[in-house]
Structure 1
């Protein structure tokens, strides 16, 4: 198999996923409340075995899942992706105890994961994190405060007390965190060594009911839950570290290199849905004595939409295949795939809205929904400008190495 074609079994699996998304996941998504975790939807993803595949499949399979689900149910796609993003550091860098406690719950859809990297002053510049992990002066173990932090009171606790005395106290804020404040645990990146840039960041697995951890939801354009987290001397132990102390930036970048191409796949799924809706609309819409598709200005726009969507899909598949092959140029390919696909989806959805006219702006219309969904991927997991910076840096590094 090459990066430029899929085998019949893969194509059949994608078709099956689109059917599952339309028939079983979309009805659950419709019952969810915007801005809040849809636990019934996550549980259904678990019962279908899709969450388990996050940790047993390669990057290409992840892209196929995300594109197929996004085509029919963006909410299901996002719920799956956020479980993967929040829990992948545990899968890839966690201890046996951490994996044994959390991953079965994540794959079953009974525990909600979140990836807590961004801060009010450190979004695109992830190395500028200010959340402090300060040495615990007392080394006295867990505080007597047993509040549930930012979680809802009726959410059952899945966590245990810290394993041993606190070694650090986390103080500061995280912002624009998907699934916050309703997640059951967070992969949190904090500064353990001041003034050390990327070299002084450590990744921690922080259960949501740790004392001192609170949160609030943010009212955002995207319908999925996004919030802020406040850390007031939250205790963490050596047993909460993911990977190595002061090597957390490696955990973050390793996770993003895997998920960036699949963000592109999410975008491709939305673009394909918008393209198909436009084909149906322009073929059936009467205009100027014929069908809308008979106008050359329209048909050429549709052709351009299809061209860009297919080009983005191929680049996403190529980047994912490079990741699965452990190729040396994964950061560049991941950045290119994420950049091209998300910018393409923005263009395709916007053009689809234009060709549909005012009907596409009505609440409840597919394109109105996609128009709101498509904007955020150009920002999260590295904005388009950041991706261009990564690409240029990798190109010059390769040129200098010759």
Structure 2
């Protein structure tokens, strides 16, 4: 991979974001109710212009040519944004990411009418978006989704079935919903629809999860959708889903790096001050080596995340492999770092309200959503073996990229 380092503008921007998150967003987050959409926080993200950055340079189709070449824009800018917010306020980071995940399909593939009606309010933080792909029987194998879109006229369908583990459900204002329009066609028979939350027949229930995020299940009882609700093209919705996940997957790693960095900073401060065995905790070789390992894994993860994002912005062809590697190493490293930080802090880190108690609950989910670690390894291996295949070998040619199994957002 290409060597990577941030320029002074990017470094200054990250510092500014951390300060902004600590001083303006964290107080709003602390007033929120666990498991509920924090609308004042989402609106603040919009007022501060942070939601705008999720869609800068995006146009229909999400082509590389439409991306804005700026030091703090594109996929790399998104990673810097998520890492910086996560370091100071995971709730703000999560609210921003979920808004981006739900609205990005509209930004990249939506019609002019859809963009005018929904994208503006979403960017301003006035309308909450959600990405509805996961189902009770279709998680890692998202191409197996079963929500039925049965024809109901020349250009309309009725949605029947369930979605589960949908972030921002059931409180979102609109959902990007992926449904099966052609039975038996696998990934090629899925269509993306924009479904307003008040559409007749759509109901939802909240789910009580380990992390205090707004997550719920949706039930579709003959919900009517028309050609005007289609995002992109009929039977091409899986491409919409995969494009969105590929864009956001490296930044899930950035979220994890932000949490790891926060845990590392807390550990450096604690071990330097804590008296133990006639000295400071940091003077014990076992502790010092543990901290060194935590720092090394955090930095390695950060570099892979930045490299994958930069490759996406350059339009390089192997983004699926790079994105999978970045998410895999970053989420696994963050789990290790936060767990080690809890161990070095002792019982105090287990007390409700402690930073590490909060991070310990937060850090587990990213190893599952938007592609479980096992799925990332499968993607990496598939891409590696495909690179070894002779050009033009039809017997062993790689499967279409759209057939890659993914895990939607939890």
Q: Which TM-score tier does this pair reach, normalised by the shorter chain?
A: over 0.9
Match of 1:33 in 2: 33
User: Where do residues 54-69 of structure 1 align in structure 2 (5 Å cutoff)?
Assistant: 54-56=54-56, 57-69=73-85
Whole-angstrom distance in 2 between the partners of 1:126 and 1:213: 21
Matched, 1:12 2:12: yes
Match of 1:184 in 2: 173
CA deviation digits over 1:55-103, x for unaligned, max 9?
Answer: 1130000000000000000000000000100000000000111111111
Q: Structure 2 residue aligned with 1:128, among 135, 144, 156? A: 144
Query: Which stretches of structure 1, 4 residues or more, deviate above 4 A after TM superposition?
Result: none
Q: Structure 1 residue aligned with 2:268, among 254, 279, 284? A: 279
Q: Secondary structure at the match of 1:400?
A: coil
Superposed CA RMSD: 0.9
Whole-angstrom distance in 1 between the partners of 2:253 and 2:21: 19
Structure-2 change in CA distance of 1:78 and 1:401 (3 Å): farther
Q: Give, in angstroms, the shift of residue 3 of structure 1.
A: 5.5
Matched, 1:266 2:282: no
User: Where do residues 3-402 of structure 1 align in structure 2 (5 Å cutoff)?
Assistant: 4-56=4-56, 57-136=73-152, 167-401=156-390
Q: Give, in angstroms, the shift of residue 136 of structure 1.
A: 1.0
Q: Secondary structure at the match of 1:121?
A: coil
Whole-angstrom distance in 1 between the partners of 2:121 and 2:92: 18
Contact 1:3-1:317 within 8 A present in 2 as well: no
CA deviation digits over 1:327-382, x for unaligned, max 9?
Answer: 00000000000000000000000000000000000000000000000000000001
Whole-angstrom distance in 2 between the partners of 1:401 and 1:228: 45
Match of 1:157 in 2: none
Q: Give, in angstroms, the shift of residue 401 of structure 1.
A: 3.6
Q: Secondary structure at the match of 2:388?
A: helix
Q: Secondary structure at the match of 1:234?
A: strand
TM-score, normalised via structure 1 length: 0.92
Query: Which sits farther off after the overlay, 352-361 or 95-104?
Result: 95-104
Contact 1:66-1:266 within 8 A present in 2 as well: yes
CA deviation digits over 1:81-136, x for unaligned, max 9?
Answer: 00100000000000111111111101110000000000000000000000000011
Q: Structure 2 stretches of 5 or more lacking a match?
A: 57-72, 392-410
CA deviation digits over 1:122-161, x for unaligned, max 9?
Answer: 0000000000000115x7xxxxxxxxxxxxxxxxxxxxxx
Whole-angstrom distance in 1 between the partners of 2:103 and 2:389: 36
Whole-angstrom distance in 2 between the partners of 1:306 and 1:4: 18
Contact 1:187-1:203 within 8 A present in 2 as well: yes
Whole-angstrom distance in 2 between the partners of 1:96 and 1:3: 40
Whole-angstrom distance in 2 between the partners of 1:384 and 1:247: 26
Contact 1:3-1:321 within 8 A present in 2 as well: no
Q: How many residues end up aligned between the 2 structures?
A: 374
